[in-house]
Amino acid sequence: MAFNTEKNSYTVIFAAIMVVVVGSLLAFVASGLKPKIHENQRFEKQQNILYAMGVNDNEGEGDVTFVPTTSVEEDFSKYIVKQMVLDGSTAVEKENAYLIDVSKEIAKAKNGEKAELPLLIGEKEGKTFYIIPLYGRGLWDAIWGYISLDDHMVVQGVYFDHKGETPGLGANIKQRFFMDDFTGESVMSGNSFEGITVAKGNGDPLNTDKEDNQVDALAGATITGNGVTAMIKDCIKLYKPYLQTIRTK
Amino acid sequence: MALLSKKDSKLVLDPLADNNPITIQVLGICSALAITAELKASVVMALSVLFVLSMGNVAISLLRNIIPSKIRIIVQLVVVAALVIIVDQVLKAFAYELSKTLSVFVGLIITNCIIMGRFEAFALGNGPKKAFLDGIGNALGYGIILVIVGFFRELLGSGTLFGFKVLGDPVTKTGLYAIGYENNGFMIIPPAALIVLGVIIWVQRSKNRALIEEA
């Protein structure tokens, strides 16, 4: 051994060199891969938004298949006809509104500050879809997604995703058997914007009752389910002023 | 085995059974409980640990003579964390779908006691080749238990394996469900993993009585 590894000065120098070496290595990797990672994230957002309005490559039961990344940009500009941000009860057009960091804007809006809440309008087969981004908290970390409504405030499709919910339990919010249940449910109860509750023991596992504002919960994932309920309710509330103006009964 | 000497192959094979990191040393229990609700997650976790443990063991082993003993644990942590982050970034750029499945495991790998345990107990005192084999062996021993637990939990809890409905459809009542079989909801919550693990330990020790500690 060439060095006296017990000496304090050695320890300090070793630690300093280690920090510099590892730090610059990580910085180098991160900045080198950044453009590629950002592109992937942008494609993913587009895929998720299109998924919520029913533009996807799902085949048969059970699988979640997005439109391929090779054609997603083309599909996105074809189906998403308007990108807007809310301004009180009206909405103004804004380019690339879908790239806005919803987590920050929703936090601002909840604090009563001025926020840029994005809203996308999609059109498919002559039908109009109002697509609202969602953001909330699950058990371990963030959950988010998109919900698309028609002008009767009936859900046309949803997409959920999560950062770190438990595999096999909370992570199942991004499975078809959970997401598909939302389609056809109304977010309205009478004239109030109720959202949709992920309910335990609602006695309707096949989700045949579309009038109850409820979908069947996932076993073993109560807190994630409650998070989904709260996320939908909170986000719909923020968009309520605008949604009221476009709603037809 | 012609490829490896007897001593070396022992490094790989021992942790698979008689010196298994989970059932004998009782390390890595937290991740074994958390992510074994389905088989696919178990396999992914096992592969991730295989990579990180073998690479990390080699890195620590190469550095073993210059690491100051006072801060060796911190150095070990930095090595694991750096490895895991690099892998995560590369996957995000070139295999985005896979990286999303893995993201939940990243934190679990960094804090996995098996990894720190092997660095501390083996890599710090042995050469890179031995450390590599030791890493492979321990990761496989860990992976086997994960897959066994995941197999039983997914089969009994959800009636599926790798997501395929092997027992029929519980909602439309086909296959086994037609004659009144029900999924055991208990199996998909973490305490069930502890019970499955307990059964594995029991079976293993009743087969090899030498493993039973004196009371």
Tokens 């476009």 appear where?
Answer: A246
What is the interface size between A and B, counted as CB pairs within 8 Å?
A: 87
Residue A220 has pLDDT above 90, yes or no: no
**Chain A CB contacts of B188 below 8 Å:** 168-169, 219-220
**Each residue's pLDDT tens digit, A160-170:** 999 888 877 88
Confidence of residue B3 (pLDDT cuts 50, 70, 90): low
**Each residue's pLDDT tens digit, B177-208:** 888 888 887 888 888 889 999 999 899 888 88
Q: Supply the DSSP symbol for A21.
A: H
CB neighbour list of residue A136: distance below 8 Å, 6 or more residues apart: A142, A143, A144, A227, A228, A230, A231, A234, A235
Distance from CA of A119 to the nearest CA of B (A): 26
Q: Among the listed ranges A28-32, A66-70, A218-222, B103-107, which one has the minimum average pLDDT value? A: B103-107
Dihedral, CA of residue A52, residue A58, residue A64 and residue A67, to nearest 10 = -70
Report CB contact under 8 Å: A169, B67.
Answer: no
**Each residue's pLDDT tens digit, B10-65:** 888 888 878 888 888 788 887 788 778 888 888 888 888 898 899 999 999 999 98
In whole angstroms, give the CA distance from residue A45 to residue A65: 14
Cβ atoms of B123 and B131 within 8 Å: the answer is: yes
In whole angstroms, give the CA distance from residue A201 to residue A203: 5
* Percentage with pLDDT > 90 across chain B: 24
Mean pLDDT of A54-58: 84
- Identify which has the larger pLDDT, A70 or B143: B143
Q: Strands across the sheet with A155-162, in order?
A: A90-93, A80-87, A118-124, A127-137, A142-149, A155-162
In whole angstroms, give the CA distance from residue A2 to residue A6: 12
Closest CA to A148 of A76, A83, A51: A51
pLDDT value, residue B136: 92
In this complex, the residue of B40, B69, B89 whose CB is nearest that of residue A33 is: B89
On average, the pLDDT of chain A sits at 87
- Identify which has the larger pLDDT, A224 or A247: A224
**Each residue's pLDDT tens digit, B155-183:** 998 888 887 888 887 777 788 888 888 88
B128-158 helix and B113-121 helix, angle to the nearest 10 degrees: 160
Coil, strand or helix: which one is A127? strand
pLDDT value, residue B134: 92
Predicted-complex ipTM score: 0.71
* Rounded alpha-carbon distances, angstroms, from residue A85 to A128, A170, A235, B85: 17, 31, 14, 35
In whole angstroms, give the CA distance from residue B127 to residue B155: 42
**Chain B CB contacts of A219 below 8 Å:** 185, 188
**Each residue's pLDDT tens digit, A13-32:** 999 999 999 999 999 999 99
A→B contacts (Cβ < 8 Å), by residue, are: 1, 3, 5-6, 10-11, 14-15, 18, 22, 25-26, 29-30, 33, 36-37, 40, 44, 62, 163-169, 171, 205-206, 219-220
Picking from B30, B33, B48, B70 by the largest number of A CB atoms within 10 A of its own CB, the best residue to mutate is: B70
pLDDT value, residue B1: 46
In whole angstroms, give the CA distance from residue A182 to residue A133: 15
pLDDT value, residue A3: 65
**Overall pTM > 0.80:** no
Q: Give me the residues paired with residue A119 across strands.
A: A84
**Chain A CB contacts of B73 below 8 Å:** none
On average, the pLDDT of chain B sits at 85
Report CB contact under 8 Å: A168, B89.
Answer: no
Q: Collect contacts of B166-174 with beta carbons under 8 A, ≥24 apart.
A: B171/A205, B171/A206
In this complex, the residue of A10, A166, A171 whose CB is nearest that of residue B68 is: A10
Confidence of residue A156 (pLDDT cuts 50, 70, 90): very high
Residue B2 has pLDDT above 60, yes or no: no
Report CB contact under 8 Å: B92, A40.
Answer: yes
pLDDT value, residue A2: 58
Domain ranges in chain B are 27-154
